[in-house]
Structure 1
Amino acid sequence: MEQFVPTGRSLRSLSVCRRLCYAMWFAYLLVYLHSVIGFHSTDAGVMMLIGQIADGVFTPLVGYGSDRTVCVYGTVCVVVSFPFLFNRCLACNDNAPPQAQMLYYTPFVLIFQLGWAATQISHLSLIPELVSSESDKVELTAYRHAFTVVANITVYTVAWLLFQSQHNVDPSIPDSLGRVDIPLFRTLALILLGTGTLFSLIFHVGTKEAMSASESEIQLITPSPLQDALPGPVFQWKHWLKEPSFYQVTFLYMFTRLMVNLSQIYISVYLTDSLMLPKNFIAIIPLVMYVSGFVCSPAMKPVSKLIGINDTYFVGLLLVFGFVTWVFVDRSMAVERVYGAAVLLGAGSATILVISLSMTATLIGEQTQSGAFVYGSMSLTDKVANGVGVVLIQSIRPDSMEACGLDCVGLYCDVMVSVTGGVAVAAPLCLITLVIWPIRILRS
């Protein structure tokens, strides 16, 4: 059977396409629903929880299926659903009850999360297929993250340009977010959707996959000679559930994602509600974070080879702790110091995320026939934990910051410190287990 190995270029093109929409979803949906559309804070949190639970449920199922098919259907789901998420309810008037609006948005959230799960897991599962050595997996994961950062930088750059254009056209528009910003978010969503669709077409058209003689299944890569030489039965999905290293890496990945995702979600409201900065800073500061992450990505491979992946992860944690300490000490942070804190968070988040994904690829090793299931299962714990975390935080958030005065100003400062810092304390415990019991598969 003649088959085609996807190139690094095609791998990166799908990374850009899939991440553009998800970056906007994760960073801005909560802000959009609460501050722009006018959802109650708890209702906005519930919508995020629905999306995260759906993603958590879909991801292992898609992971199981991705070991047997391709991700084109996920791209279609994203294209169909995303324009409706950042637009007003087309079936509602201004007096529509919150429950009706939630009912309207829920199907689009579910379809989008199904599409995201399909593209994410199919994309991640290519990494252990393409390379076998640990350092190469770190390098490929770093490149993947670098182009993910390119997508995020694109999101925040376009958002900043739109905010600037809005102010230039009509200086009387307030600096706080409101329903007047609905067209801005709709335009941003359509620009990103068009860009992402273009890169998706580049990937699906440019990556040629040969059919088997029966044309009944598609393989992404010919098994390596080492894999062919391994004796014994195929390593199936159920065998992973008996491996201790599977759970070690899963919990480390979950804590990593909690740090990265919750800080990404709440950095916007921290800037606008706690630091009282103008709304264009919800584009500027995340942009600084991702630029710093992009700069760090090429250093991942040499640093991990020099000090090891466990110590590299710990260095990333120290950078995150530096951000948490800065926010805790400097609660009324001036604008110029916000940039420095953003650099620490961006570099630390990029480091721990790349290394945790590299550890997952190391765990999979040569067992690539069930690799997508591993990524999917780990994402399940990540998504559910993130969804529960958002709902808990939103449940203590007032629907109006004016309702509790100055007591609420420091709310998101406390969130950034306690949530990000608390998870950053739990992650080293998982890291210690990996130092004592290194990643390995016990089943022969």
Structure 2
Amino acid sequence: MKWISKIAYGTGQMLKDLVVGFIFVFYIIFYEGCISLSSSQVGALLLCGQIANGLATPLIGYLSDRSLSPTKKSTADHQSITCEDESVKKDKRLLNRMKRQLRLGPRKSWHLAGCLLLVIAFPLMFGQPEYLVGLPVWAKLLINGMFMICVQVGFAAVQIPHLSIINDLTDQHDERVLLASLRYFFSGIGHITMLLITYLFFISKKSSLLILKSVNETDNNANSSQLFTKSLRTTNNNVQSDNQSTNVGKQSVVHSEYNTTIQDLPIFRNVALILVGIGVLFTVIFHCGVREGKPKAQQPFTIQSNEKTSSEFPEVNGTNNNNGFNNDNSVVVFQIKSRRKRTYSLSSTLPWYAWFTLPRFWLSCSTCSILRLGVTVSVLYSGPFLLNSLKMNKSSMVSVQLVNTISCLITSVAVQRINKLLGNYIVSIVDVLFILASCTIAYFLKSADENLIAIYVSAAILGIGNTINNVRALVVIATLIGVNQVHTAAFVHGIASLFDKILTGIFIQCIQLCVPQLTYRHIEVYIVGSLAVFGGILTTIDHFIYSETLESTNAPCLSCFSRRSTSSLSSSSSKFQGDKDIESNIQTSHHGVNNDKENNDNCGY
């Protein structure tokens, strides 16, 4: 690949990263402060969006993999052309020419559709006019629920094709690793850009409030000096009224500086429009600089065999050389039935539905969901904790988020070497200690004026812990898949993502229902710390129970064949699985994608 194509690929998810980062940092404070929704209503909106994202992720992955056969495609094109007039034919030829120039295959088409959803729904979500705030609650929930669903489906439509297209762009392992690194690099750049833009808007609003406050004080002093020449009674009355107005002005300034109100709607609207503009620019770069290759033809699944007779395979469809057997002693398997009760093991190749019968599958999905849930809760409630509990102004709150993001990026560079040096078990313990240290610091924080340095230190430590948590969640799923199950890797990641989204939505809704009694300090200290400890326990169980069982297991292979041919096919299947060229090619094909699939969202977003 050319370097310009590699860089163009890395920019393909900038729009999604900008939108995700902004939503997860400012979601709660925007809807509770600006839109005037209650805590339970905000949680219900998030639950609706998470369910939509969880269902859309595996569905879009399946639809983007499906393609028409050349015969069906040519027949459909012929029938449509015969029924169209000349003008429609000309427009269609122009459209086909544009598609050939941009190479809009199934991956890029879904990517473009997801970008369009984000471009339309995201500015409407954070750019609502003020009169919509006065609508009834059911109307606000309906409108914002539609916006949330469109945005979450757009997330999935951008993320899945952008991950899957790596295999179509190059077959070399080094280039795939480089593409995954560029993808994550631009993801971090996008999140930092979002925070910097938001910081500039809030700091400008803060300076304008300070100027307004000083002007009010000057006017009040001038009025007081002029009224001093009047009678004592009149002077006292005027001074009291002026002091009351001054106090009201100060309270409004303080309230506007430390909390989000309807007056902040223009800031969110302007930031959303700027982020969409930047994202559209990089989306155009991606579609112009990256050409999607043609999908490769699917090949039948072959198993090398030393048997020359068909009596060993009585239930394989096709019994002659043209259907079931080739002259080079290989068997082409199209459909296999078994009368024996099937038992599955990770040492053999599993079909997609067999995963649901494995206890380790449920344990690994639960572990991954708990780890990522801790990251999401810590990020989602950090803004309300800083604003409401610590009385920090909005610009300083954004700067704390920026420190957390930079800490995540720095840790992500070194976590791989640390993991190789210490091992998964020690790294898990270190991660729990980092998060508990951050929770301990958050417990003793009083206000932003007294503990400003401690707040930034806690944010940096939390960024380190969240990054390690994301890596641990990825390692759990990658270890579950291994080398033998790469053909169902996308399915496993999709189900794990579905677990994560559903659990996150339900858990956040439960927290929102308890928010009046449960303070944001309690959430950042007790809930985040408990999730870290619980995730560490599940990771330890998964490590000690299943780390060695995969190597030492002697469970029977998958009962895909009939009872008579099971023993003979087991040895030939192991030879097929042991083919170094095929195994290295499959592992290379999924290494760059799987290592970035769940870690691309910039510290859990």
How does the TM-score come out when normalised to structure 2?
Answer: 0.62
Equivalent residue, structure 2, for 1:438: 547
Which stretch has the larger CA shift, 164-173 or 139-148? 139-148
Equivalent residue, structure 2, for 1:78: 118
* Percent of aligned pairs with the same amino acid: 29
Matches within 5 A, 1:45-444: 45-68=43-66, 69-70=106-107, 71-72=110-111, 73-88=113-128, 93=132, 95-125=134-164, 144-171=183-210, 172=212, 174-175=256-257, 176-212=259-295, 236-330=351-445, 334-365=451-482, 367-398=485-516, 411-436=519-544, 437-438=546-547
Residue 148 of structure 1: how far off its partner (Å): 2.8
Letter in 1 for 2:18: L
- Greater RCO, 1 or 2 (C-alpha within 8 Å, sep 6+): 1
Asked whether the 8 Å contact 2:372–2:473 carries over to 1, the reply is: no
Distance 2:488 2:387 in 1: 44
Alignment partner of 1:16 out of 14, 17, 27: 14
Residue 146 of structure 1: how far off its partner (Å): 4.6
Residues 146/244 of structure 1: CA separation in 2 closer, same or farther (3 Å cut) = farther
Distance 2:3 2:61 in 1: 20
Which stretch has the larger CA shift, 332-341 or 101-110? 332-341
Letter in 1 for 2:467: A
Asked whether the 8 Å contact 2:24–2:379 carries over to 1, the reply is: yes
Residue 193 of structure 1: how far off its partner (Å): 1.3
Residue 125 of structure 1: how far off its partner (Å): 4.9
Deviations 1:245-301 (A, max 9, x none): 433331221011111111111000000111111122331111110111111111122
Alignment partner of 1:44 out of 42, 45, 52: 42
How does the TM-score come out when normalised to structure 1?
Answer: 0.83
Residues 96/212 of structure 1: CA separation in 2 closer, same or farther (3 Å cut) = closer
Distance 2:455 2:180 in 1: 29
Letter in 2 for 1:75: C
Letter in 1 for 2:153: L
Equivalent residue, structure 2, for 1:220: none
Residue 123 of structure 1: how far off its partner (Å): 3.9
Residue aligned with 1:194, SS: helix
Distance 2:139 2:11 in 1: 38
Residue aligned with 2:394, SS: coil
Distance 2:16 2:354 in 1: 30
Equivalent residue, structure 2, for 1:402: none
Distance 2:39 2:382 in 1: 16
Letter in 2 for 1:346: G
Asked whether the 8 Å contact 2:7–2:182 carries over to 1, the reply is: no
Residue 416 of structure 1: how far off its partner (Å): 0.8
Asked whether the 8 Å contact 2:439–2:525 carries over to 1, the reply is: yes
Number of residue pairs matched by the alignment? 417
Residues 325/277 of structure 1: CA separation in 2 closer, same or farther (3 Å cut) = same
Asked whether the 8 Å contact 1:139–1:300 carries over to 2, the reply is: no
Letter in 1 for 2:260: L
Residues 78/95 of structure 1: CA separation in 2 closer, same or farther (3 Å cut) = closer
Letter in 2 for 1:31: I
Letter in 1 for 2:189: V
Residue 320 of structure 1: how far off its partner (Å): 1.1
Residues 379/85 of structure 1: CA separation in 2 closer, same or farther (3 Å cut) = same
Distance 1:213 1:141 in 2: 22
Q: Which structure 2 segments of 5+ residues have no match?
A: 67-105, 213-252, 302-329, 335-348, 559-605
Which stretch has the larger CA shift, 205-214 or 287-296? 205-214
Residue aligned with 1:37, SS: coil
Distance 1:362 1:122 in 2: 23
Residues 180/19 of structure 1: CA separation in 2 closer, same or farther (3 Å cut) = same
Distance 1:76 1:345 in 2: 34
Letter in 2 for 1:249: S
Distance 1:63 1:310 in 2: 33
Distance 2:33 2:195 in 1: 18
Asked whether the 8 Å contact 2:12–2:283 carries over to 1, the reply is: yes
Asked whether the 8 Å contact 1:60–1:373 carries over to 2, the reply is: yes
Asked whether the 8 Å contact 1:89–1:104 carries over to 2, the reply is: no
Asked whether the 8 Å contact 2:31–2:37 carries over to 1, the reply is: yes
Equivalent residue, structure 1, for 2:25: 27
Letter in 1 for 2:126: F
Residue 170 of structure 1: how far off its partner (Å): 4.4
Residue 26 of structure 1: how far off its partner (Å): 1.6
Letter in 1 for 2:416: K
> Superposition RMSD on alpha carbons, in Å?
3.5
Which stretch has the larger CA shift, 119-128 or 188-197? 119-128
Which stretch has the larger CA shift, 336-345 or 70-79? 70-79
Distance 1:11 1:236 in 2: 32
Distance 1:368 1:97 in 2: 50
Asked whether the 8 Å contact 2:34–2:262 carries over to 1, the reply is: yes
Q: Which structure 1 segments of 5+ residues have no match?
A: 218-222, 224-228, 399-407
Residue 48 of structure 1: how far off its partner (Å): 1.2
Asked whether the 8 Å contact 2:363–2:542 carries over to 1, the reply is: yes
Distance 2:172 2:431 in 1: 24
Deviations 1:412-434 (A, max 9, x none): 11111121011111112221133
Residues 40/208 of structure 1: CA separation in 2 closer, same or farther (3 Å cut) = same
